[in-house]
Structure 1
Amino acid sequence: MKGSAVGSVVLVPYADALMSLAQSQNLVDEFGDNCAALLELLDESPELSEILSNPIVKIVDKKAILANIVTDQVHPFVSNFLMILVDRRRIGYLRGICQRYQAALRALKGIVLAEVTSAVALTDAQTQSIRDRVQGMTGSNSVEIATNIDPEIIGGVIIKVGSQVIDSSLRAEIRRLGLSIA
């Protein structure tokens, strides 16, 4: 399945179901925290992602692994949701489902996600300045900052909010200068 097909067939319905359950139980923020913890776990352990995605690994084994790792870290409803994903052979899509859930949570709360790429780690003052600028630009209630470090941009920052990209990196300035000279 291609990216858009996976999005419409698997990710959206499961993320929507999780959001619906969270709203009905007044657990929207707790489920959001659980999804963040699961995403962090998947990022820290590529081996776990591989095991969960591997069709050769038995369902019983996947459930046992998840039970040992996440039972104490997530709400029981989220734990049950994970077991349903395993039963339906959709656990390999966990990362995408959690990301979709968090996007729905941000939309529900009027929070904008700004993906910021810089050459070096940003200070708290720089992060706050970017947060204020994006909030003024979008008129949102709040701004969540996701930072990435890419030394190849040399200096400056690249800010992505939705489909809008503000590239004030030194690499982009050099490219623009080269185009204007040519």
Structure 2
Amino acid sequence: MSTKTLVQQISQPYAEALLELAKKVDKVDQFNNDVTTILQVLAETDELTIFFNNPLISQEDKKEAVNKLFDKHINDQVVKFILLLIDRQRISYLKGILNKYLECSYILDSFVTAYITSSIGLTEKQQHDLIDKLKIMTGKQNIQLDISIDSNLIAGFTVQIGSKVIDTSLRGQLKEIGYFLGASNI
């Protein structure tokens, strides 16, 4: 089992539980904002992720850090959820759980996250045009792009929505031609 699959298997039930809690207390929008804030903090400070992943740091120290960082800025129930992850030794999956939570929340609100891998950065117009095309393809009104750059693509981009992948990259086209011609190592 790959690490990515393991993270997905662990993340899904926790993300669903957090979403159920958000719906139960009728604070989905606030939870979404809080989760986005936490993900931004994690993205901006690699040290925090390293701190959470370090098994030599006690659970109490991790809880104290969470309380100091988020106590007055994040909903109490979201803070308690993070503390629960520490108790259950799942804090190293925090980023995956929160991303899965947002994905589930967006599906609930007719949102879709499209993971774009491009050979170069996309302009605002290209992003807007891509969102318009994806709205038609998915039937969803709200599309969020998660864009990453991969210079190995040579040209073009790939789009992943759920399990569906659209590969318009030159690398993908060369692989397809190679497969068609019987060459497996292109």
Normalization by structure 2: what TM-score? 0.85
Partner SS, residue 155 of structure 1: coil
Q: Provide the rounded CA distance (Å) in 2 between the counterparts of 1:13 and 1:166.
A: 28
Which string of whole-angstrom CA distances, capped at 9 and with x for unpartnered residues, describes residues 31-80 of structure 1? 11221222222222222112212222111111111122222332121112
Query: 1:16 Cα deviation (Å)?
Result: 2.1
One-letter amino acid matched to 2:60: V
Opposite residue 53 of structure 2, the aligned amino acid is S
Q: Structure 2 counterpart of 1:167, which letter? A: D
For 2:173 and 2:17, how far apart are their aligned partners in 1?
A: 45
Q: Which residue of 1 aligns with 2:134?
A: 134
CA separation of 1:13/1:147 partners in 2, compared to 1, >3 Å: closer, same or farther? same
Secondary structure of the 1:77 match is: helix
Equivalence map 1:101-180=2 (5 Å): 101-176=101-176
SS of structure 2 residue aligned to 1:26: coil
Distance 1:157 1:137 in 2: 17
User: 2:69 maps to what in 1?
Assistant: 69
Query: Kindly, what percent of the aligned residue pairs are identical?
Result: 33
Separation (CA, whole Å) in 1 of partners of 2:8 and 2:47: 24
Cα deviations by residue, 1:6-50 (Å, 9 ceiling, x for unpaired): 644x42332222112211222112111221222222222222112
What is the aligned-residue RMSD (CA, Å)?
Answer: 2.3
- 1:154: Cα distance to partner? 2.0
2:106 alignment partner AA? R
SS class of match (2:73):
coil
Q: Structure 1 pair 81/180, CA: closer, same or farther in 2 (3 Å)? A: closer
Q: SS in structure 1 opposite 2:72?
A: coil
Give the Cα–Cα distance (whole angstroms) in 2 for the partners of residues 179 and 19 of structure 1.
43
Contact map agreement 2:7 2:96 (CA 8 A) in 1:
no
> Compared with structure 1, are the counterparts of its residues 117 and 23 closer, same or farther at alpha carbon in structure 2 (3 Å cutoff)?
same
Hey, what does 1:32 align to over in structure 2? 32
- Unaligned segments of structure 1, at least 5 residues: none
Q: Report the residue type matching 1:144 in the other structure.
A: Q
Provide closer, same or farther for how the CA distance between residues 167 and 95 of structure 1 changes in structure 2, counting only shifts above 3 A: same
Q: How many pairs align?
A: 181
In the alignment, what sits opposite 1:44? 44
Name the CA distance, whole Å, in 2 between partners of 1:116 and 1:6: 20
Relative distance call for 1:80 and 1:169 in structure 2 (3 A) is same
Q: SS of the residue aligned with 1:115? A: strand
TM-score of the superposition, structure 1-length normalised? 0.86
CA distance in 2: counterparts of 1:112 and 1:43, whole angstroms: 21
Question: Residue 99 of structure 2 aligns with which residue?
Answer: 99
Instruction: Name whichever of 123-132 and 52-61 sits farther off.
Output: 52-61
Gaps of 5+ in 2: none
